[in-house]
Every structure is written in structure tokens, then in C-alpha cells.
Structure 1
Amino acid sequence: MKVQFFCPRWGSEDMQWELFCSKAKQDGYDGIEYGIAREASAAELDNIWNEAAKSGLSIIAQHYDTMDADFSRHYDNYCSWLEKVTAYPVVKINSQTGKDYFSFEQNAQLIKAAENCGTQVLHETHRNKFSFAAHITKEYLEKIPSLKITLDASHWVCVAESYLEDQAAAMQLAIARTQHLHARVGYPEGPQVPDPRVKEWSGALEKHLMWWDEIAERKKQSNELLTITPEFGPYPYMIFHPETKAPLSDQWAVNVYMMNLLKKRFA
């Protein structure tokens, strides 16, 4: 099994691209995961790919900002985003797809559009999207056998207010369909623990490691590439001190910690 790690651009938007790519490479990442806005220009994307190439980094493109409540506009905007991004040499596309209030048939149309775009598109398990909860995503996975996902179990833990002990079948099906992993640790009252390095959150970390280990074991057996983005985010995912407004931990350092933990664990 080959494992590649991708540095999230999320939270480092103020950092110059040249510095960001250089720092990511220096810290041991294989690539970057970048949320590409719908209005991003060709010149902007050309520059990003050039900067990544200078540092020897590949790119996973992330879709996140198709927000239209009107399904027809939503569908058209999603398709135009896919058309724009698939012109670039992406490793994969990670897509926050659809809306939790769209019908199954509507979200299935978006999944079908992604399937037909010519690039591997993985649909992230994410609140507010079609995949916002484990039991809901299970139905999509059962009815659409070709559907592959980016597993970010932190969202499901938050939605279910549990570590999904009573939804083992849904988790096993999700693990079997996972092609990309967002390594963030959630807990029953939130999508991100303040700091996974401290013992107070070791229980939450172990729950997620159990799922991630199962994914890695499956990839070893099939000799597939496993891509991982440690995705601890900035405020408001990152808790701030209420008086000083200082973050309780360093986002970049936490993500590097998570990458190195998993590199050692999956070696």
C-alpha cells in the first residue's frame, strides 16, 4: 500500500502560495488539498499549479461552494465547476456535494454528473451536504454501487452525538467505499477536538484511529493508494480562548502531528 499525505490550504489562505508550498514540502507532505472557489480564474489556477509543481507537490482539488437552494442553478454551477477543474492534473477531486434538503433523486443527479466528468470524484461526508449523517449516506451507498467517498467521520460523530456504536453497519459500508481520508478527530458535541495530542482527548482519537486502521488494512489487502489530508481547521472549528481570542492549539502543528502519527502507524 502506498500512502500520500496532503496539506490543507484551509486555514493558511493568508500565506503566500510560494511559502505555503515550500513549508508543506519541508514538513513532509506529498501534495496539497485546495478548496477551489467557483469564481476562481484560469490565471489563479495556473499560478497555483505552477507553485505546487516548483515544490514537487501534487494537488487534490476540493469543491465546497455551490450553495444555491434552487436545484437547477445548483446543478448547472456544479457542472461548470467540474468542467473548469478537470482541465488541470488533479490527483482526485474531493467534493462536498449537494444539500441535506435536496431529495435523493436530486443529489443522485449531482453524483452522476461527477461520475461522468472524467476524473475520480470522491464525495466528502460533511454536514449540510447529502452525506451529512451515517444512516443517510448508507442509503446512497446501497443504491449507488459506484459511489466512493472521502470519509470525514468527525462530522457524523457530531451529528449523531455519539461515536456511532449503534451504526456499525453504516460505518462498515462507508469504510469499504472510502478512497480518501480527512484525518480530523471529532467528538459527540463538535467536529474537532481542541487538541488530539493531549490525554483528555485520547479516547476520541482512539475511536477515529480504529476506523482509519480499517481503511488502511483494506488498502493494504488491495494494494491501493490511500490519500490522507490531516484536516484540523481554523476558527470556528479551532476553539479560541474566550478572553484573549488566541487559538487553544496551533493548527499547522496539529496537522503535522497527525500526519506523522499516521505515517508511523501505516508504515
Structure 2
Amino acid sequence: MKLENFKTMWGFEGDFKTACIQAKKEGFEGIEGKAPVDNAAREYWKACLKKYDLAFIGEIVTGGDYVPVRHHTLQEHIDDVKRGIENALVLNPRFVTCIGGYDAWREEESIAFFKTAIALAKRYDIEISFETHRSRSLFTPWITERMVQVIPEIKLTLDISHWCVVSERLMDTELDTIRAIAPHVYHIHARVGYAQGPQVAHPAAPEYKEALLSHQKCWEIIWDAQGSNGMKITTMTPEFGPDGYLHTLPFVNTPVADLWEINCWMAKSEKKHFHTYAQKGA
């Protein structure tokens, strides 16, 4: 199995061509992000991806925004999935990953959302993977475990940093649950959380070594399951981001670290980690 890293567009504010140049220079195999709504912008993205030989993972957000609007209906969430798929298809994505559903829904509503979204993706002949994300339907590991039992065909984008916040502990305390959902994990978002937040100040810092090792232990469980399922490529997006995630100094709001440097460090670190992991199984 081979590990491929994708550059996140979250937090990037420049031209898409620059994003592609950065990704290529630092050894990323592709880019993950929301496809532009404007058709001309999508065609520009498509041309840039082709020029720099980069793959694309489409991101879909339902419910109006990254934190869902409280009163959006189930149908409105499904409509967002449909629009997101249609926008992404122009860019020939490997698959689409969806930040979807709502944490305040009854589980029956979440099940209806996932089943309808999966059926919709099948009609468009594209794989859809649902992110484990706070404020969303998969906001705890235990709800996620129940969901995969009810919907065996569901695919997951695993971001356990969210669960660290919701559960107020690292997820190596919940390895039985991680193993239960592992066969359903299709993609990994490699951000390192800790008990009091979704993003450590810098994953290379010695004070966060325990948090990093905890996440890596979980990711190895995922790689075990993916290998057993016959996957030839495992994809990972280092997803350290802004918007309150990136630590800043009080009063001046100056970032304590460079976001792009952190994501590059994470990508290179996980390539080394995966190589060591693969050698153990050789």
C-alpha cells in the first residue's frame, strides 16, 4: 500500500496555481478543497491540476456553512450534497469527502441523510466519504460506531482531532471503537488534537509528543484495515488550519507557527511514519 498526501485549501488565500506549485514542490500528490461555484473558476482549477499532475479530492459542506445553520432541513443538507458533487465532478475527483449532517439530529435523521447521500453519489458514479467532525452527525466515536453498524456501506473520512475535543481525551483510550470503525475509513485528515482543543500549536513540539503518538497509533489501525481490504493507495490530508484552530499570541493575535510549514512537516513526518509502518509488515 502507498500513502499519498493531499494539500488542503483550507486557510490558503492565494491563487490556485500558486497552491498547485506549492503542493508539487513539497511532494504532495494532490489537493483537497471545495470546488468553485463559478464554472470559469472550475475550468481554471482543472487546467492547473492537469498542468501540475495533481489529483483532486472534492470537499462538500452541508447545512449552509462549516458550522451548520441550526434550522436547515434534512432536504437542504441533501441539496448541498447534490450541488457539491456536481461542482466537483468537473475536476475529475478521486472521490468527495463530506462534512455533513447535524449533531442535534435524532439518529434516525442522520441515518436517512447518509443513506440518501450515498444513493445520490452512486447515481453520479462517485465515492462519497463522510468526515468525523464535531457539530455534525459523526461527532463522537460511539455514534459513528453505531452508524457503521446500521449502514455497512458507509465510508468515513477520519479526523479524530474533533473527537479529542468532544470527549476531552486522546483517542488511544478508545482503541476498540477505532478498530470497529476502521474497515469503513476511506481517507484520513491528519490534524493532531489534544484534550482541550482540535489542533496542537505544532505537532513537532515535545510537549505534544503524547498527542502525536496517540493519533499515529490510531492511524496505524486504519492502515491495517485498509491493507486487509486490499486498498493499494491510502490518502491523507494534513489539515492544520486557521479560524481559531491556529494558536495565536494574546492581545496581538500573532500566529505562533506558520500554517503551511506545519502541514508540510506533518506530510513529511507521516511519509516517514508510513514507511516505518510498512517495513514492519514486510
Map 1:60-99 onto structure 2 (within 5 A).
Answer: 60-67=57-64, 68=69, 69-99=72-102
Q: 4+ residue runs of structure 1 moved beyond 4 angstroms?
A: none
1:262 lines up with 2:270 in the alignment: yes
Equivalent in 43, 46, 55 of residue 46 of structure 1: 43
Distance 1:223 1:144, change over 3 A: closer
**Matched position secondary structure for 1:61:** strand
Q: How many residues in Structure 1 have an aligned counterpart in Structure 2? A: 264
Q: Paired residue for 1:189?
A: 196
CA RMSD of aligned residues (A): 1.7
Q: Paired residue for 2:106?
A: 103
Q: Paired residue for 1:208?
A: 215
Return the TM-score normalized by structure 2.
Answer: 0.88
Maintained 8 Å contact 2:59/2:84: no
Distance 1:25 1:166, change over 3 A: closer
Among all aligned residue pairs of Structure 1 and Structure 2, give the percentage whose two residues are the same amino acid: 29
Whole-angstrom CA distance in 1 between matches of 2:196 and 2:29: 32
Maintained 8 Å contact 1:196/1:202: yes
Whole-angstrom CA distance in 1 between matches of 2:257 and 2:30: 23
1:140 lines up with 2:147 in the alignment: yes
Deviation at 1:223, TM superposition (A): 4.3
Deviation at 1:101, TM superposition (A): 1.5
Maintained 8 Å contact 1:66/1:78: no
Distance 1:84 1:17, change over 3 A: closer
Maintained 8 Å contact 1:35/1:63: yes
Distance 1:237 1:81, change over 3 A: same
Whole-angstrom CA distance in 2 between matches of 1:206 and 1:176: 21
**Matched position secondary structure for 1:36:** coil
Q: Paired residue for 1:28?
A: 27
Distance 1:64 1:72, change over 3 A: closer
Whole-angstrom CA distance in 2 between matches of 1:235 and 1:75: 26
1:248 lines up with 2:256 in the alignment: yes
For 2:264, give the aligned amino acid: V
Gaps of 5+ in 1: none
Whole-angstrom CA distance in 2 between matches of 1:8 and 1:166: 28
